[in-house]
Amino acid sequence: MTQQAERVWSPVEVERVGQVLRDFAPQNRALGLEVVRMESREVWTKLPWNPHLVGDPVRGLLHGGALATLVDATCGLAIMARLDRAASIATIDLRVDHLRAAPPGAPVYAWASCFRVTRSVCFVRGGASSVLPAPGQTPPDESLIVAATGTFARKRA
Amino acid sequence: MSEPLSDFALAALLASARADGPLQPLVDALPYARFLGLELTRDAAGLVTTMRYHDDLVGDAGLPALHGGTLAGLLESAALFEVLLDPGTLALPKTITVTTDYLRSARPEDTRARARIVRRGRRVAVIEARAEQGEPAATVAVAVVHVLLAG
């Protein structure tokens, strides 16, 4: 596969992609998932704070499942960014490492990058952070909440 | 947060659940378990965590299919319930890693999960979990979960 030309989606396009993501997946809508930034090489999303997603009510911490859903959706978006079109994909496997608890009461930002595409499989890495870094910057290590790796199957159109 | 739970209240829920009492109060104490629509029951083979189908669980409206993240959440929850009801667990474990393998697309219907503690060490426990749908049961996803035990 030839390398796609770099593309940076405009704020209006990013907003439209977010709507599609929520319309396409009611679970993304239930989480209130937003698309923040979209480039061929990396995408960023936001999970607003929601007390219904708490898995540890003693400490007020988000459940890993909510973070897994955030990361899974963000990885799917990274594949669409890399291919520059809506793609029908299915998760083959997803590993989520929980580096530290998400700060209670605050949004979580997730990123993903699709670094290899074959005819049938896409390889993606990503993560989640308590801060949204400036474009082109990486989040500081101490802000990292999740590290994730996923493989996805491309379904025949 | 909205519904804080004291360690004491959690310990009371665990004691009741382990003494063959009702399991659902434990589930209902966890907001995300209610968000997913989880039910915890017991049969001859052990604990069963059921994710009742509702439209918000869908991740692919075209097929339709459940969101992969909700299956990961179900499997992690089943693993945590297995550890929570294991004697000797005093507090909510912290999840370290979850690796989920998706075997087939999950249809828009109820999904059942069972978990088994593979190894329980002093600090870390390893649990495997399996999610299935339909009769006869077809496995839709499996996961290996590592948790840090309190202490």
CB contact under 8 A, B31 and A23: no
Domain that holds residue A82: 11-154
Residue B107 lies in a domain: yes
Query: Distance between CA A50 and CA A67 in Å, rounded?
Result: 12
Residue, of A2 and B136, whose pLDDT is higher: B136
Evaluate the CA torsion angle B25, B26, B27, B30 in order and state its sign. Answer: positive
Whether residue A96 lies within 8 A of chain B, CB to CB, comes out as yes
Return the number of CB contacts < 8 Å for A and B: 158
Residue B112 lies in a domain: yes
Residue B43 lies in a domain: yes
Please report which residue ranges of B1-151 form alpha helices under DSSP H. 7-18, 24-28, 31-36, 68-84
Q: How confident is the model at residue A141 (pLDDT cuts 50, 70, 90)?
A: very high
Residue A2 lies in a domain: no
Ranges assigned E (strand) in chain A:
34-38, 43-47, 54-56, 61-62, 89-98, 108-117, 121-129, 144-154
Q: Give Cα B108 to chain centroid, integer Å.
A: 18
CB contact under 8 A, B72 and A96: yes
Residue B1 lies in a domain: no
Domain that holds residue B63: 7-148
DSSP code, position B136: T
pLDDT of residue B1: 42
Q: Taking all residues of chain A, what is their mean pLDDT, rounded to a whole number?
A: 94
Residue B46 lies in a domain: yes
CATH number of the domain where residue B101 is located: 3.10.129.10
Average pLDDT over residues B92-105: 96
Residue A29 lies in a domain: yes
Whether residue B151 lies within 8 A of chain A, CB to CB, comes out as no
Residue B36 lies in a domain: yes
pLDDT of residue A155: 81
pLDDT of residue A4: 54
CB contact under 8 A, A93 and B100: yes
Give the SS3 label for residue A11.
helix
pLDDT tens digits, one per residue of B37-80 = 999 999 999 999 999 999 999 999 998 999 999 999 999 999 99
Residue B130 lies in a domain: yes
Number of folded domains that form chain B: 1
CB contact under 8 A, B73 and A56: no
Residues in chain A: 157
Query: Measuring CA to CA, which residue among B88, B146, B137 is closest to residue B113?
Result: B137
Q: What percent of chain B has pLDDT over 90?
A: 80
For residue B147, list its beta bridge partners: B95, B125
CATH number of the domain where residue A104 is located: 3.10.129.10
Lookup result for tokens 């399996």? B130
pLDDT of residue A157: 59
Average pLDDT over residues A54-60: 93
Number of folded domains that form chain A: 1
Query: Distance between CA A142 and CA A132 in Å, rounded?
Result: 13
Residue B40 lies in a domain: yes
Residue A5 lies in a domain: no
Residue, of B52 and A87, whose pLDDT is higher: B52
